Structures are given as structure tokens and as C-alpha cells.
Amino acid sequence: MSSFNLLKSIAEAHGSLRKSEQKVADFVLGNPNEVIHMRIVDLASEANVSEPTVVRFCRALNYDGFQDFKLTLAQGLASNTNYEQFSLNTKDTVMEFKEKIFDSMIGNLLNIKEQLDTETVEAAINSLTKARRVEFYGFGASAPVCTDAAHKFHRLKVSSTSYSDPHMQAISAVSLDERDVVVAISQTGRTKDLLHTVNLVKDTGTTVISLCPSNTPLAEASTISIHIDLEEDKDLSTLMSSRVLHLVVIDVLAVGVAMKLGPGLIDHLKTIKRSLRSLRQNDKRPLLRKPSNFPESER
């Protein structure tokens, strides 16, 4: 767990802690860099609590003791993963909002990397590898993610496509069966049309893998749910890092499937690369050539 996640966990657990433990939490949240250099007696003194209270505080956060807690905090701070979510101001300069957006993106990527459950991802990879057909469903900003995902899996010789139209999704959904897999992608996990389609898919026995926030209707309706939980500036609908996070998770799944399919796939990918060469412009050639039947003077 990074320092960002640790501090976030402390803030979220604050209300469930005892009053004396809340004093420890308040001091840690306000002085994380100082805490990593403290002894337990120092922290107890600064928070005006007893040493056993500090131990109880650490155990309330699922740490064996103060040293275990402090080590996690120190490692997170050392790796500089404490990126804050951005909130733009109309007075921000290009340099300022550029830094905010990149820092927020980096922070979200690191957080999701730690949050992803390995067993869940592995289960999704196994299902995708065995699938007769894989279809990707999503709306709005998730639609281009689905298109990119279908393209990646098509390269892996996996029969795949994507749909962002509710009617096409519904037609597709009732045409699938237990041999197929649907990957439903949503930034909110609450899109009504997508939930309708997923319910149609479930009636056919098809496996549903979702990329969406936890504790949402889509997550609960899925066979395998990969949780993408993050905080974003809700007023900036076009500046959302969830699309990038979804793309990265799709990459993880695609690589996992490629590894499962074995060495033979490498030869196939090389064949694809060779077949695309003729579609790319050689920099040494002129962009346009006049037909050879033109007089020399007009070429």
C-alpha cells in the first residue's frame, strides 16, 4: 500500500476509530513525514495518548504494530506516490494545470495498480482465453475504450468486436451463449442501457466481465468484476483519467491472454506486422508520384 492509499485509509476509517485513536490519526494525517522518524513513545506523546493506543490504532488499520505501519508509510513517501487529485482554477497557468493533470493521472495509475486483485484479473484472463467470442460493451467515453480493446484482442486471433449502440448490444446479447464472454466497461457502473444489456447477457449463460467502480449495480451484476475506483473532478467530464485506466487494465488482460495462448501467437503477430508494411509510407519515397504515362516534362 502506498502512502497515498494509507493516508486515505486512515481518513476513511477515522469515524470508526475510538476517540483516543482518532488523535493518533489526526497527527499522522497532518504530519506523515515526521511520523516516519518517530519512536512509538514520540508519537504517543505528540498525540497525547498512551503507547498501547498507538498500537491499537495500527491494528485497527490491519497492521501488526507501529513498526509495520511506519515502514509502509516510509516506503510510500520515499517513492513519491502521494499525488493529489486535481481541481482546476480559472487562474491556473498552462504549467499549473498541466502539472495537476499529469500528477493526478500518475497517482490514479499507481493506486489502481495496487487495488487490482490478482486473483480476479487471473480469472478474467482465463475466461477470455477460453472464449469462443469476446464482445465489448460501453457508452460515451467508454465506447472508444471498447473499440481499442476489440482491436487488441482481434490481433490475438480472438474473435472480438465492440458495440456502443443499445440496440446492437441487445441483438448481440441474445445471440451469445456460455462459450462467449462480454466485457462491460463503465466509468460509473450505473448506466441503465448497459445494465439492461448485461441482464440479457446473463440470461444466456454468458460470462460477464466488468471494468467499473466497486459497489455499483454493474459490479454486482457481473460474473467477474474488476474494480476501478478513483476520485475525479466531477465538473470536468472531458478530463477524466478513468478512460486511461480502463485502457491500461485492458492491456493487462490482453498480455495475459497472449501469454496463455503461447509462443505460436508470436509468429502470428510477426505476420501481422509484415502485412501492414505495404500500408505505410516509406520516408525515402516521395509522397506523390505522377503516373508513368505523363510526359517527362510534366512528371
* pLDDT for residue 294: 53
Q: Which amino acid is at 67?
A: Q
* pLDDT for residue 186: 95
Phi-psi region of 240 (alpha: psi -120 to 50; beta: other; left: phi over 0): beta
Q: Are 242 and 185 in contact (CB under 8 A)?
A: no
* pLDDT for residue 5: 67
- Measured in whole angstroms, how far is the alpha carbon of residue 299 from the centre of its chain? 54
From 53, 14, 50, select the one nearest 30 (Cα to Cα). 14
Q: Which amino acid is at 283?
A: D
Residue holding cell 516510509? 74
pLDDT more than 70, % of the chain: 81
Task: Output the CA torsion sign for 241, 221, 119, 127.
Answer: negative
Q: Are 149 and 179 in contact (CB under 8 A)?
A: no
**Could you tell me which residues come within 8 angstroms of residue 277 by beta carbon, excluding any fewer than 6 positions away?**
none
From 141, 150, 115, 117, select the one nearest 241 (Cα to Cα). 141
Cell numbers placing 294: 505523363
- Measured in whole angstroms, how far is the alpha carbon of residue 115 from the centre of its chain? 9
* pLDDT for residue 87: 61
* pLDDT for residue 235: 46
Q: What is the spatial distance between Cα 207 and Cα 256, in angstroms, rounded to a whole number? A: 18
Cell numbers placing 102: 499529469
H or E, element range at 284: none
**Could you tell me which residues come within 8 angstroms of residue 190 by beta carbon, excluding any fewer than 6 positions away?**
216, 217, 218
* pLDDT for residue 109: 86
Residue holding cell 510510500? 76
The low-confidence residues of the chain, meaning pLDDT below 70, are 1-5, 78-89, 231-240, 264-270, 272-273, 281-299
Q: What is the spatial distance between Cα 66 and Cα 60, in angstroms, rounded to a whole number? A: 11
